[in-house]
Amino acid sequence: MQVLELNKKARDLFNETKAVIFDMDGVMVYNTPYHQRALKEFCEIKGKPLTDEEMEDKIYGRTNREWLLNLFDSSLSDELVDEYAHEKELMYRNIYRDDIQAAPGLIAFLELLDMKNLPRAIATSAPPVNVDFTLDSINAKSFFEVIINDTMVKHSKPHPEIYLKAIEVLGLKPEECLVFEDSKSGIKAGLDSGAKVIAIESSMPPQQTLDLGAHASISDFSIFLQAS
């Protein structure tokens, strides 16, 4: 599909939806390079060098607990999992603190959702401390009453639990909701929940997101602020 066609498809999906659900990392902030740097530095320190393929297949979209157990040792104690997770996320926040900014068009889009009285939620695999760090840094917390984080689910993406939970809290049917995602596991989770999915092209090229089943793919939220 051409860019104009994809943008029109995305706008049509938005105009038909009754609620919007956002992933956070890679969607509301384009922070993938900062997470990559923190992950690689953390794994190097722990003697477990990390490849780009391992990041995409074993880490993106997953909770810290899941990827740590998958990547290191499934017998890691809860205490060590918590220690590793805290260490890695502190590295990430320190790396990203001076550069963090909202994704292009995000704040204006959230203001548009307010104007249209459209319910919205965040469904993120990030821990609460990162959610607070992100939303406070970009002044977006006031736009959300529903926030599902990694402590609220048993199964991380690509399992659809986090989106099903957000949809349940919003009180709507899955097909009435529109999900914004950027990762392979996140796109699958959104689709398997029964929601429509628009991919944000912060982590993958458009064709790859479409091949994964995304209903549309956009560069950023500014396309919703333009005339159709």
Active site residue 211: no
- How many angstroms separate the CA atoms of 95 and 74, rounded? 28
Specify the 3-state DSSP secondary structure of 41: helix
CB atoms within 10 A of CB 4: 9
| Catalytic, out of 12, 25, 82, 114 | 25
Distance, in Å, from the CA atom of 103 to the CA atom of 12, rounded to the nearest integer, reads: 21
CA gap 126, 128 in Å, rounded: 7
From the candidates 23, 150, 182, 192, give the one annotated as an active-site residue.
Answer: 23
- Is there a contact between 22 and 32 (Cβ–Cβ < 8 Å)? no
Cα–Cα distance, 124 to 131 (Å, whole number): 8
Residue 80: enclosing H or E segment and its boundaries? Answer: helix 78-96
82 catalytically annotated:
no
Catalytic residues: 23, 25
